[in-house]
Amino acid sequence: MAKKKTRFICQECGYESPKWMGKCPGCHQWNTLVEEFLPSDDDRRRFVTSSDSKGSRPESIQNVEKEIEPRINTRIQELNRVLGGGIVPGSLVLVGGDPGIGKSTLLLQTSSKLAEAGHKVLYISGEESVKQTKIRADRLDINAEKLYVLAETDLEYINKAIEDVSPDLVIIDSIQTVYRSEVTSAPGSVSQVRESTSQLMRVAKTKGIAIFIVGHVTKEGSIAGPRLLEHMVDAVLYFEGERHHTFRILRGVKNRFGSTNEIGVFEMKEKGLDEVLNPSEIFLEERSQGAAGSTVVASLEGTRTVLVEIQALISPTSFGNPRRMATGIDQNRVSLLMAVLEKRVGLLLQNQDAYLNVAGGVRVDEPAIDLAIAISIASSFRDQVTRPTDIMIGEIGLTGEVRRVSRIEQRILEAAKLGFERAIIPQKNIGGWEVPKGIKVIGVETVSEALDYALGG
């Protein structure tokens, strides 16, 4: 009998080595290389389906018949938005997020909606028994006839269950618990995750079944296992939010069938997750009136306009080097804007601590928020209050100019809907579009000019 080959694989990044090393050269982590057996050729052939073994011949792209399959409507608008309009049959979607954030709840509610609409759904849990899944379903008022549940971790039995049920959607919760008996390493290891995902991808593509897999998240916030896992799937969705807050954000970081800039907003309640169709009202409802350092900006997340509050606190430092802390925005961008304010406007900020926050736990990273950040910093430094009905939009250059931003009409329209009366925007964005009723638009060319309007009246 031939001796089985082994290799050492890093459980953090997937780096492979023929010998053991204390420190991984890939991710520089200690004691993460684990010995695993390489599957033999016979083991690999055993799991190849008959359709894969037939092979195919190359053909001209002009002769390929175009088939447009309708997407599956999940009956959850926020999920449809992130997926690009619904679930594509035959797609493989990876859902990641912190423990307890609500991944299983979202997918169980999605399964119920689809089952009620007449689709067969197979929910496979490797972390809960069938009775435990039933208890969670009862709490969410889920009792759909076409929703099938299974507690299984062996991939061979999972494949048989998929063949028996022939579902339209399969949910694997989670991929770290699934294993192939031919792979000798433990469930959750790099080899098991990679091989299991590869087999599930074959099932999705050959049978046209949409498959959602749940992935655990590491301490650094990335999905556990090799980066290859994210390259294999068609879409990667991250479920974000603070465990101590009720709002959750579903963000697409990869999507072969739609935009990666879309977000879906949910609120966690006793009966599960509820959609937040107008997140701007939620993010602004607790905004304090008459407080210096607070501004509102209209940020774009894909096709959606979200109004968020940016808060700044500037105070004299008691250290040799002033502190710069930012939550929800890029800290390096904050340092750059403070340098522009000091050089072009004359604000002495080099001996001031700066703390900035985006209220509501959302993260914004587009250049159009620069003007709101700069005005928040100046408002807190001067202890001057901005008008609560003002909104600031614009990108700031290093010379202090305010540059144009994209889709200004959509941003102003959302601000007008929520009762804002004045918008400070780049001068280059003035003209060429119709200003909504009830809001006044002011064009500025420099940061100094914007501060005069925002803080001077």
pLDDT of residue 370: 97
Q: According to the model, what pLDDT value does residue 217 have? A: 72
Contact between 122 and 150 under an 8 Å Cβ cutoff? The reply is: yes
Residue 1 lies in a domain: no
What pLDDT sits at residue 374? 97
Q: Which residues contact 271 (CB under 8 A, 6 or more apart)?
A: 139, 140, 141
Q: Determine, yes or no, domain membership for 68.
A: no
Structural domain count of the chain:
3
pLDDT at 409: 94
Q: Distances from the Cα of 358 to the Cαs of 245, 260, 261, 296, in angstroms?
A: 14, 21, 18, 10
Token pair for residue 128? 């809960």
Asked if residue 49 is part of any domain, the answer here is no
One domain, residues 273 and 306 = no
Please state, as a whole number, how many other Cβ atoms lie within 10 Å of the Cβ of residue 277: 10
| In-domain check, residue 179 | yes
| Full residue range of the structural domain in which residue 337 is found | 282-456
Q: What CA–CA distances, in Å, run from 353 to 103, 319, 359?
A: 38, 9, 19
Residue 50 included in any domain: no
**Cα separations in angstroms, 447 against 27, 228, 343, 385, 442:** 42, 45, 11, 17, 13
What six digits make up the tokens of 18?
């023929």
Question: 302 with 266, same domain?
Answer: no
Do 16 and 113 share a structural domain? no
Query: Does the annotation list 174 as a binding residue?
Result: no
**Which residue type occupies 38?**
L
Considering the domain architecture, whether residues 163 and 254 belong to the same structural domain is answered as yes
What is the per-residue pLDDT for 49? 47
Contact 213, 233 (CB under 8 A): yes
**Is 309 found in the same domain as 404?**
yes
Q: Specify the pLDDT at position 210.
A: 96
Alpha-carbon distance of 70 to 413, in angstroms, equals 32
Beta strand residue intervals within 405-454, DSSP E: 422-426, 440-444
CATH number reported for the structural domain that contains residue 308 in this entry: 3.30.230.10
Residue 97 assigned ligand-binding role: yes
What is the per-residue pLDDT for 271? 87
Please give the structure tokens belonging to residue 365.
């990273």
Please say which residue of 277, 303, 335 terminates a domain: 277
Q: Which of 242, 258, 277 is the last residue of a domain?
A: 277
Q: Say if residue 264 is in the same domain as residue 312.
A: no
Residue 44 lies in a domain: no
Q: Is 99 annotated as a binding residue?
A: yes
Point out the residues of the chain with pLDDT beneath 50: 47, 49-53
Q: Is 102 annotated as a binding residue?
A: yes
- State residue 223's pLDDT score: 60
Q: Residue 101, annotated ligand binder?
A: yes
Residue 155 within any structural domain of the chain: yes
The total of other beta-carbon atoms located within 10 Å of residue 190's CB is 24
> pTM of the predicted model, to two decimals?
0.75
205 & 222 share domain:
yes
pLDDT tens-digit map of 293-324: 999 999 998 788 999 999 999 999 988 889 99
- Does the annotation place 172 within a ligand binding site? no
Cα separation, 261 vs 327, whole angstroms: 20
Which of 277, 306, 324 is the last residue in one of the domains?
A: 277
Write down the pLDDT at residue 46. Answer: 55
Read out DSSP for 15-47? -EESS--SB-TTT--BS-EEEEEPPPHHHHHHT
456 known member of a binding site = no
Q: Are residues 23 and 125 in the same domain?
A: no
Q: Is the same domain home to 176 and 255? A: yes
Judge if 224 and 112 occupy the same domain.
yes
Claim to verify: residue 286 and residue 273 sit in the same structural domain: no
Any binding-site annotation on 84?
A: no
Structure confidence at residue 32 (pLDDT): 82
Domain for residue 66, yes or no? no
Q: Convert the pLDDT of each residue in 44-80 to its tens digit.
A: 555 454 444 455 688 898 888 877 778 999 999 999 9
Terminal alpha carbon distance of the chain: 86
Cα 236 to Cα 231: distance, rounded to the nearest angstrom: 9
Bridge partners (DSSP) of residue 8 are: 17, 35
d(CA 454, CA 378): 10
147/140 Cα distance (integer angstroms): 14
Clarify whether residues 302 and 397 are in a common domain.
yes
